[in-house]
Chain A
Amino acid sequence: MTEPTPPPERPLTDEARARIRAELLAGAGDSRTAGPRWLVPAGAAAAVALVAGMAYWAIDPGSESSGLPATGGGASGVSGAPTTPSVTDPAAVPTPPSSAPMSEPMVDPTSVPSTAFSEPTGGAPVQVGTGTCETELEYVLKGAQLAEQIDATSSFWVKGDRFSLCYAIDGSTTVTHPLPLSPRDDVATFRVLSLYPPAKDGYRTVRVAGGVVPPGMEEVMDVAYTFPNGHTERATTATDDQGRTWWLMSYVYDDGGGSELDKPPITVRVRLSGVQHDYTLDWGLDTCAQANHGC
């Protein structure tokens, strides 16, 4: 014999990957800028909160909504600043949903046009799944069925009382952590998945979120995300053949590079028939909703 053989390797879980990534970005950002020292404990606290949150999801993923009627969507996870690009050949962009917007979207001259992805710089490693939505969901929400194909890139998948958002672009597929079909009134409902595909002049940032519109709220719900560049992107809706209405928000922009921790957070404003809720997405904690790869 030569040497004893260790057990097979295994990847970091998405939760661990996200936690470590958040710790690294917090630690690195802190030491680089010599900025506020609270960032490190805050990162650790966020990690603890994440782990607790994950445990909660794992133990009780389909419990009833806790109180306030809210929207569904988003997912759990952690991430951080734009880093390794996640899309191999982003010759396409997230297509705006074909359904009507909830309200008139604001036009932002700084937002990135679709053609921004047409000439990638290339050379970046692939970090995302390359299978179909169904394949990528195998380890996330096994057996999930397509509920609604919103557009060329985005679809919602359901199994039992949970759903996952699948975002597929150029052979790269991202699925979110499952969320209950009965949406909760908390920030986890509005977490975004994040991708950083290369573009001609650097990288673009893609943020996508979605979920279920609570029954009866189809005409009175408005979900709007405001990004660090000042742009506000409103969710659009579509109804599946079972009568469920889904909301979807996707936005592509150039975030200017640098650490996300130094930028203003993404905020979400949810209006439900005159009742307004505001959420602030923590960088990393609430901006890495994907389940099948890192951010």
Chain B
Amino acid sequence: MAIGPDHGPQHGTDERDLVDALHADDPGALAALFDRYGDRIYNHCFRHLADWAEAEDATSSVFLEVWRHRRRVRLHDGSALPWLYGVATNVCRNAGRSRRRYLRAVARLPEPESAPDHAEAVADRLGSQARMRAVLAQVEALPPRERDVLGLVAWAGLSYEQAAAALDVPVGTVRSRLSRARARLTEELPDD
């Protein structure tokens, strides 16, 4: 599912160096981290927000938070990605709350006339947003902690260990939350 040149584990010495550079207040290291993982965080935020434009803003916020807390960046199995996902989960979850409040307010307004857009890319973009909103509606009944695990493991493709590092909980907790989330979804959602 994940895309872009920054996908996949790119651990090792270079990431250690990157984190050392962050600790040394090097803005270039922040940019390098963004180059490497920006797409993954962007998509993670989209899965919280169901809006590509807001996901862009959230991605920027995530990396600015990383910079603010750069001295606390830590590696998991040689990679900063799990920690980054942890920051992103918090930032995007908060942004998602605001967005849901906003959408509830907008939903009370009269439906605007639809403006057809013949640009295929725009249609695709809007289509994916609608689809993501539907997905979020399906998982909205889950407790936030279970939603977070679902987002990291099932959607972002993190291992249990990475998700545990991201959320700063034991691996067993990740397993049990995911199991509960899937059980709830199986109960509540019709089979496709």
Contacts and interface: CB of A to CB of B under 8 A. Distances in A.
Interface of A: 1-12, 16-17, 19-21, 23-25, 27-29, 31-32, 80-84, 123-127, 257-259, 261, 293-294
A10 B43 CA distance: 7
A199 to B, nearest CB: 15
B39 interface: yes
Tell me what chain B mostly uses at the interface: helix, strand, loop, or mixed. Answer: helix
Contacts of B127: 7
B115 interface: no
Given A4-B138, A9-B43, A21-B31, A84 B36 contact: yes
B25 A8 contact: no
Contacts of B160: none
A26 to B, nearest CB: 9
A17 B52 CA distance: 13
Given A6-B132, A20-B38, A23-B60, A32 B155 contact: no
A5 B12 contact: no
B128 to A, nearest CB: 4
Interface in B1-57: 1-6, 10, 12-14, 25-32, 34-36, 38-39, 42-43, 47, 52, 56
Contacts of A258: 26, 28
Closest 3 CB pairs of A and B: A28-B27, A7-B128, A83-B32
Contacts of B47: 6
Interface in B45-78: 47, 52, 56, 59-60, 63-64, 67-68
Contacts of B191: 1
B128 A20 contact: no
Contacts of B3: 8-11
A54 to B, nearest CB: 13
B2 A84 contact: no
Contact of B63 (A24, A31, A84): A24
A222 to B, nearest CB: 33
B139 A8 contact: no
A126 B6 CA distance: 8
A258 B24 CA distance: 11
B43 A27 contact: no
Contacts, number: 133
Nearest to B59: A20
Interface stretch (B91-99, B106-114, B161-169, B179-187): B179-187
Contacts of B154: 2-3
A5 B31 CA distance: 31
Given A24-B34, A28-B27, A125-B10, A3 B182 contact: yes
A2 B134 CA distance: 16
B39 A9 contact: yes
Contact of A125 (B36, B38, B132, B185): B36
A23 to B, nearest CB: 5
B131 interface: yes
B34 A20 contact: yes
B27 A12 contact: no
Contacts of B39: 9, 11-12
A80 B52 CA distance: 23
B31 A125 contact: no
B105 interface: no
A29 B67 CA distance: 10
A6 B155 contact: yes
A17 B41 CA distance: 12
A11 B4 contact: yes
Of B35, B43, B52, B191, most buried by chain A (CB within 10 Å of CB) is B35
Nearest to A31: B67
B60 A1 contact: no
B56 A1 contact: no
B135 interface: yes
Contacts of A21: 31, 34-35
Given A7-B132, A9-B39, A31-B67, A83 B185 contact: no
B27 A84 contact: no
